[in-house]
Amino acid sequence: MFKTKYNYYGNLVEEFLSSLPLDESLLCSSMKYSLVAGGKRIRPVLALASAEAVGGDPLILIRVASALELIHTYSLIHDDLPCMDNDDYRRGKLSNHKQFNETIALLAGDALLTYGFELLAQSLPVDPKKQLLIVKETAQAVGWMGMVGGQVLDTLGENRKLSFSDIEKIHEKKTGDLLKASVRLGAILGGGTDDDIEKLTAYASNIGLAFQIKDDVLDIEGDAKELGKPVGSDEASNKSTYPSLLGLEGAKLHLNNCIAEAKGSIESFGLRGEFLSQLADYIANRKK
């Protein structure tokens, strides 16, 4: 049931992404290469499910939900560049600059970010004021105060011992803010009340943290083949992680608390919140 619905949302997004009018140029080939590299599409799925949870029609939001995946993909391409993490592989495939080259990868990232904003702003059958709010919130979530700011903190924090509050701040910015924006996009454009939106925002903050803790745990316990990337890299690079600060069991306990908090925030949604509640469990239990 959960899986069927997840796949349904995910397939709507895949279908939309495949239908984007990108041409056969080198630039577009590079954009498509990373865009269809088989992510979990969790940000668009969160947006569509949140819209449905507040009684909205997810089908009219497929384009804006998918825009979040373009923005996420841009961040992965730039993250992998030699001047950043210098990763040769991503999801078991060559990273964009390895498949193409640095120039094209840089520009494909720039173009995906920009195209994301174009899709967010294309006309929709929703209140245009709310749509502008969504454009603004998404930009904030991935800008200097959000994702890019988190990237910088993460870079500066490498090879340095970080405190618990340091790593919470980095993750909140680097991955949490966009996950939160995804949920809020669905909740706001789906026509949620202020109370709905507030509860879903609390839900999103907790699954954002849970998502990152799980990433850290998978880097210790995960299967490299299933993950499509090597494990143990955090420990090898002496990176400050949840397990390095809390111990593996402590990190798992923190993960479970976040999931419980997330589910608690949307308890009053009853059946309407069931999928999101299961999604929280999915994040905690995922193998990749």
Number of residues that bind its own copies (CB under 8 A): 46
Residue 148 engages its own copies in binding (rule: CB under 8 A):
yes
SS3 of residue 94 by DSSP:
strand
Residue 248 engages its own copies in binding (rule: CB under 8 A):
no
Residue of 126, 114, 88, 85 whose CA lies nearest to 27:
114
Residue of 2, 67, 27, 50 whose CA lies nearest to 196:
50
Judged by CB under 8 A, the stretch of 46-54, 87-95, 141-149, 244-252 that binds its own copies is: 141-149
| CB of residue 77 to its own copies, shortest distance in Å | 11
Tokens encoding 203: 């839900």
Amino acid at 172: E
| Residue environment code for 97-129, b if the CB has 16+ CB neighbours within 10 A, otherwise e | bbbbeeebbbbbbebbbebbbebbeeebebeee
SS3 of residue 34 by DSSP:
helix
If the CB atoms of residues 52 and 154 are measured against its own copies, the closer one turns out to be 154
Residue 60 engages its own copies in binding (rule: CB under 8 A):
no
Residue 64 engages its own copies in binding (rule: CB under 8 A):
no
Among 43, 78, 180, 252, binds its own copies (CB under 8 A): 78
What's the farthest any 2 CA atoms get from each other in the chain? 50
If the CB atoms of residues 52 and 172 are measured against its own copies, the closer one turns out to be 172
Q: Which residues contact its own copies (rule: CB under 8 A)?
A: 22, 25-28, 31, 78, 81, 83-84, 101-104, 106-107, 109-111, 113-115, 117-118, 120-123, 128-129, 131-133, 135-136, 139-140, 142-144, 148-149, 151-152, 155-156
